[in-house]
Amino acid sequence: MAGIGIVIVIAAVICSMGVALYMYTQYQTNFISVQSGEAVIVGPVEYVVTFEGTSMGDEETQPENTFVKIKIIAHNISEELTKISGGQFYLVDESDVKHEAVYGGFSEEDLYVHPLEPGKPESWTTQFDVPYDENENYNIIIRPQKEQSTVDTALICIANC
């Protein structure tokens, strides 16, 4: 009788470990690596990100270091309205330091939060305040919006790949 109980306990432990491993793999982040200018799909949006250069800001907004500017072309490939925001984009330097986008009225194309209609590609720019070195490697990370419910994350090399 005790032998059957031990077998049941061992089977239950093995089953629970199998379920835990399955759930872990379902929610593990899926990194998709591409080069600047290549299309990448994160959730319902197809992105093309390119390096636009550096700047020292304008009269109203001056960087602490240097602004690294990127161009974003986004195409909603789903049938539903979704949104895109500058908060989804991070610049990662060679030291793995993550920099958030800097918002300001730099141009008409500056990305803050924008609804993205199905089937209609749109383009914006955003910038990051970083201690820029033209010899370093820089990557852009695109994380999905919470309501886009995907585990995909894009890693786009924009400089010195």
Radius of gyration of the chain (CA): 21
CA separation for the pair 67, 127 (Å, rounded): 6
Residue 12 has pLDDT above 70, yes or no: yes
In this predicted model, what pLDDT tens digit does every residue of 14-55 receive, in sequence order? 999 999 998 888 778 888 999 999 999 998 999 999 999 998
**Domain ranges in the chain?**
31-159
| Spatial CA neighbour of 154 closest among 23, 14, 39 | 39
CA–CA distance, 150 with 56 (Å, rounded to integer): 36
pTM comes to: 0.80
pLDDT tier for residue 3 given thresholds of 50, 70 and 90: confident
Q: Take residue 84 and report the two structure tokens written for it.
A: 């895109």
For domain 31-159, which architecture applies? Sandwich (2.60)
Of 142, 141, 120, nearest to 76 by C-alpha is 120
- Strands 152-159 and 30-35 come out as parallel
Question: At 128, is the secondary structure helix, strand, or coil?
Answer: strand
**Span of 9-18, 37-46, 108-117, 131-140 with lowest mean pLDDT:** 108-117
101, 127 contact by CB (below 8 A): yes
The residue-averaged pLDDT of 106-129 equals 88
Cα separation of 131 and 133, whole Å?
7
